[in-house]
């Protein structure tokens, strides 16, 4: 399958899954408060998404304790990022270094023009240059495919679903269940929603992440002209993450 067809198929599957997340979210809002609940929680989701989208780079960098590096400090890294960015057709991102011995990297930012690539000290220390390029190509593919936006939307809808389920549970435990007779789903429906909705949201989020990672791998191989450096790099990263634990903030865990 060509990269164009792969991209179209993956993008389509991604947005179908996100539509499922949104439907679950709206349905849970309706169960909680009827039409007013749908409007309220849809509004909350929009606000959360906008905040996270706008400040995603700052939040991720702060949580990872990353610091900016200039060309004089990491000339080879800059050359590799410039090369891959040129192949990807995106502007040169800002470059940050994470103080960790675990080989890893992530990309963030609300658009290709505001993008950031952050790499760990361990990535530069333990991986050969061709594998570093493979990792950078993967992160640049996330930027070009606007995966930061997509994953932010999925994550925030998922978080809102979990929050609503918690509110439902709290309300039933402390007297909110008195009004269940007026709801056609009743108390059984509410209990099912409390248990099933967060689990379904998590599964759908994982499905979105898998689609975006698959597309990033395919796109990175196109940038590099072959898939070998990325495949070898992914194997090295897996071994490195097992050998060298990294204290990852939950807010940025999905980025790695």
Residue 74: φ, ψ to 5°: -140, 65
The range of the structural domain enclosing residue 12 comes to 3-255
- In sign, the C-alpha dihedral spanning 79, 80, 86, 90 is negative
C-alpha distances out from residue 26 to 30, 180, 214, 229, Å = 6, 18, 28, 43
Per-residue pLDDT tens listing for the chain (256 residues): 566 777 777 778 888 888 887 787 777 767 666 666 666 766 776 777 677 778 878 888 988 899 999 999 999 999 999 999 999 999 999 999 999 999 999 998 888 999 999 999 999 999 999 999 999 999 999 999 988 778 777 777 777 777 777 777 776 676 555 554 555 545 666 676 677 778 888 888 888 888 889 999 999 999 999 889 899 998 888 887 776 666 655 555 556 5
Beta bridge partners of 119: 97, 105
pLDDT tens-digit readout, 189-243: 667 667 777 888 888 888 888 888 999 999 999 999 988 989 999 888 888 777 6
Overall domain count for the chain? 1
Active-site residue, 139 included: yes
Which of the residues 83, 101, 121, 139 is marked catalytic? 139
């Amino acid at each position: 399958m060509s990269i164009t067809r792969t991209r179209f198929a993956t993008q389509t599957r991604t947005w179908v899954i996100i539509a499922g997340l949104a439907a679950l979210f709206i349905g849970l809002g309706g169960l909680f408060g009827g039409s007013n609940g749908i409007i309220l929680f849809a509004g909350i989701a929009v606000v959360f998404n906008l905040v996270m989208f706008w400040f995603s780079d700052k939040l991720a960098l702060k949580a990872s304790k990353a610091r900016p590096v200039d060309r004089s400090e990491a000339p080879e890294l800059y050359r590799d990022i410039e090369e891959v960015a040129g192949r990807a057709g995106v502007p040169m991102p800002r470059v940050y270094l994470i103080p960790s011995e675990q080989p890893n990297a992530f990309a963030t930012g609300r658009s290709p023009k505001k993008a950031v690539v952050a790499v760990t000290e361990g990535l530069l220390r333990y991986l050969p240059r061709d594998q570093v390029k493979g990792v950078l190509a993967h992160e640049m593919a996330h930027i070009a495919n606007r995966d930061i936006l997509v994953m932010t939307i999925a994550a925030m809808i998922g978080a809102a679903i979990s929050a609503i389920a918690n509110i439902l549970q709290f309300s039933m435990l402390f007297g909110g269940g008195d009004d269940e007779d007026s709801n056609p789903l009743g108390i059984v429906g509410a209990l099912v929603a409390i248990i099933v909705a967060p689990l379904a949201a998590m599964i759908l989020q994982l499905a979105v992440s898998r689609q975006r990672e698959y597309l990033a791998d395919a796109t990175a191989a196109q940038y590099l002209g072959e898939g070998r450096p990325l495949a070898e790099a992914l194997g090295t990263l897996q071994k490195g993450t097992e050998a060298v634990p990294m204290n990852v903030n939950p807010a940025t865990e999905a980025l790695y």
